[in-house]
A and B are shown apart, each in its own frame.
Chain A
Amino acid sequence: MTNRTYTFLTAIIGVICGFVIVRSFLFADSLTVRNDLVQGFLVGAGLGVVAVEILARIKATRVNGWITVFGCGVPGNDIFTRAACARIFPGPVNVPQEAMYWKTGVDGAGHTLSGERDFILHFPPGGLPPNDAFWSLTMADAKEHFVANPINRYSVGDRSGLAQNPDGSVDIYLQNAAPAGHEANWLPAPAGRFILWLRVYMPGAAILRGDYTVPPVVEARPSR
């Protein structure tokens, strides 16, 4: 389920809740105990969906367009964190010490990522995600599926032979067509919208402390 569909469904549920509330209290014929219970339950469940959405926004950490949540999967965490984690990472997500995940559908300026334009993820010298296992950047289309491409490359990372710039920084090219001269650092994008997943397994202390900042995805200038 994409974000847009989810927002749409949430809005519909909101409208239904509003209707039920107005219907219940402005028309006396519907004032029965049974209606109170049934409608209270339905409206409450609807508000629960909205509450999970709000919690997800409160608990999420957003930096440079990337979204993550700290504290997922940790025994003893609170019900609000659990609900937010289940919304943002739907599934049995790892504890932070085992793996941290970031995802984004926008660049650092808040523009939607799409293969219609070319993007770059620039890691400064020494700025690759610190870890004791591995890290990866995975490309997915708007439905969170892999993207077909001529070189069968679905992710790049510590094992994919990324080339460094002379100053030790690393550029990852997120675009639909192969970047001439930079094929090793090309993560093929679909023609349309896409999302990115950054995974860091056994993340370093800087990540767990919240000191590590994932760099923003930036739109490449056409003149380059």
Chain B
Amino acid sequence: MTGYQHLLLFGSVTVAACFLFVYFWPRILLVVYKRAILVKGFGEGPVPVNTLYTEPQAVFADPLRAAPASGSNLMTTGANRDTLLMAGWLDLRNGPQVLHVPDMGGRYYSVQLTDPSNNTNFAYVGKRTTGTAAGDYLISGPGWTGSVPQGMTRISSPNNSVLVVGRTLVERDADVSAAYALSKQIRLTPLGG
């Protein structure tokens, strides 16, 4: 091979690798979140797949001293003092999951459903999109063909893996326990389980 051909080969591979990196960068980032949720947890052990973890009241009330010594620090880095956070990772290969939401009484909350393959949010359940009344939402993976039980709203996920991030507004310091009690009622169950 001549030097020119080497340059051509080298250049093509370089350009391809550069684009691949840019394309996969958001996905690589969310692998860190997957690992934080399913492997490390947030100080109370790993968070099982298809469950929601809720930030403890103590961490919200006193983030500097009550922050967990072990586990991922994703929840306390760049953190906010507005909402109690929830996090979970769904695997829909074995069937849909049902998201149960209590009556939030007008309080701001949102449950963000993120496709981890490209870090875009394909659906929201929450004050802006569905209101604050109680409800059950059926989150189904691609290719699921079952019937939606009465009273449930179907949300179709483009991916069998879903990153779930929940946020419940805390009005003031004295409101943390009320916000926590409501957050804990936002939960996931398997369909028919």
Contact = CB atoms under 8 A, between A and B. Distances in A.
Interface of A: 24-25, 28, 31, 33, 36-37, 39-45, 47-49, 51-52, 55, 73-77, 79-80, 82-83, 85-87, 90-95, 97-98, 132-134, 136, 138, 140, 143-146, 148, 152, 154-155, 157, 159, 197, 199, 201-202
B163 A55 contact: no
Given A199-B80, A201-B108, A85 B171 contact: no
A31 B3 contact: yes
A91 B33 contact: yes
Most chain A beta carbons < 10 A, residue from B19, B77, B120, B165: B120
Interface string B109-149: 01010110011111010111000000000000000000000
A79 B23 contact: yes
A73 B114 CA distance: 8
Interface stretch (B10-18, B40-48, B92-100, B181-189): B10-18
A31 B108 contact: no
A44 B21 contact: yes
B76 interface: yes
B78 A83 contact: no
A146 B82 CA distance: 13
6 contacts: A24-B10, A36-B6, A40-B9, A44-B20, A47-B18, A201-B82
A150 B175 CA distance: 21
Contact of A202 (B62, B78, B82, B127): B127
B169 interface: yes
Interface of B: 1, 3, 6-7, 9-23, 25-26, 29-30, 33, 62-64, 74, 76-82, 108, 110, 112, 114-115, 118-122, 124, 126-128, 163, 165, 169, 171-172
Contacts of B21: 44-45, 47-49, 51-52
Contact of B119 (A36, A40, A43, A92): A92
A180 B62 CA distance: 25
B16 A136 contact: no
Given A82-B26, A83-B22, A133 B13 contact: no
Contacts of B22: 48, 51-52, 55, 79-80, 83
Most chain A beta carbons < 10 A, residue from B81, B114, B172: B81
Nearest to A146: B63
5 nearest A-B residue pairs (beta carbon) = A44-B17, A48-B21, A40-B13, A44-B14, A86-B26
